[in-house]
Chain A
Amino acid sequence: MRDRSNDDPIRPSQEELDALLSSPAIFSFQGVRASFDRRTTLFKRTWLVLMAVTILYLMGWFTGLLKPYMASAVTGLEADYQLHQVRFLLAFIMITIGTVALNFDWHIDETFTTVAWIQAYFLVSGVGRQWRTMPEDNLSVTLMYAANLLLILLLLVTLIIEERRLKSSLP
């Protein structure tokens, strides 16, 4: 009996079907572990530290330990308090987007580059704001605030450098 599968111009041949099914998907879920397996130890450790900082922040926020160190505690402006809340929400959304990018192994370099620039904006505008409004004896609060934001920025820059190193080492 004659196989008519390749005679029909509309129906794809077996070779075409195999090629379609075997081609890697542009956007496929892989999981963080699978994504980490391809990356360096420094990348993994940096990501873990970033997660730890986020968790510690949440613990500090909900227990009230962070409140005396916030700008609003010194300036007394409601806008400072709300700005802090909005910025943390945005940072949390960015961490989520970064985790999704890692899960799908999709544009990780570009995602973290964008996140790092936003963090730089938070650092410059936040520290500038505190520098202008804080009383002299609260310099330590400003320095702690700047160090905290700078640590997160450095972690993000490390992730970007490691990702670029990985991309450049791939054939």
Chain B
Amino acid sequence: MYKFSVAICFLFASLVIALFTLIITDGSFEPATDGGATLVQDLTAVRVWIVVAGLVLYSWKSATNQPSAVVVAVLTAIAWIMFLEDYMVLDSVLFIASHPPAQAVVFTRPIFLVALTYVAFKQWEIDLR
């Protein structure tokens, strides 16, 4: 179950990176409002760097058998905060879910959040052993 959850997290991270690559290369991604155009680019850019940094850090710590519970806990908290921000505020500004990769990100996001939260709790258990 732990490995399956980690796989879901990696899959979601890949989707976010793919979506970001498409946003900066493909002109067909248009946000719901004009004012949201820069907001989409800014937020996606910040988030994709967090995803890349998180993936690198987690992979490095796992490969070197270092405790990674705090890293996963930080990433989980930030992921939930981003979700809350999007859900409560940015939904009407940002969403570009008509595109298939964007739909895939929106669809898998709740599954990713549950999987990441599970990994965070499990990682504490593993590190405390």
Residues of A whose CB lies within 8 Å of any CB of B are 75, 77, 79, 82-83, 86-87, 90, 110, 113-114, 117-118, 121, 124-125, 128-129, 132-133
Contact = CB atoms under 8 A, between A and B. Distances in A.
Given A118-B78, A121-B81, A82 B36 contact: no
Contacts of B104: none
A113 B74 contact: yes
A166 to B, nearest CB: 17
Interface of B: 35-36, 38-39, 42-43, 45-46, 50, 69-70, 73-74, 77-78, 81, 84-85, 88-90, 92-93
24 contacts: A79-B35, A79-B36, A79-B39, A79-B89, A83-B85, A83-B89, A86-B84, A86-B85, A86-B88, A110-B73, A113-B74, A114-B70, A114-B73, A114-B74, A114-B77, A117-B74, A117-B78, A118-B77, A118-B78, A121-B46, A121-B50, A121-B78, A121-B81, A125-B43
A75 B37 CA distance: 13
Contacts of A124: 46
Contacts, number: 56
Contacts of B90: 79, 83
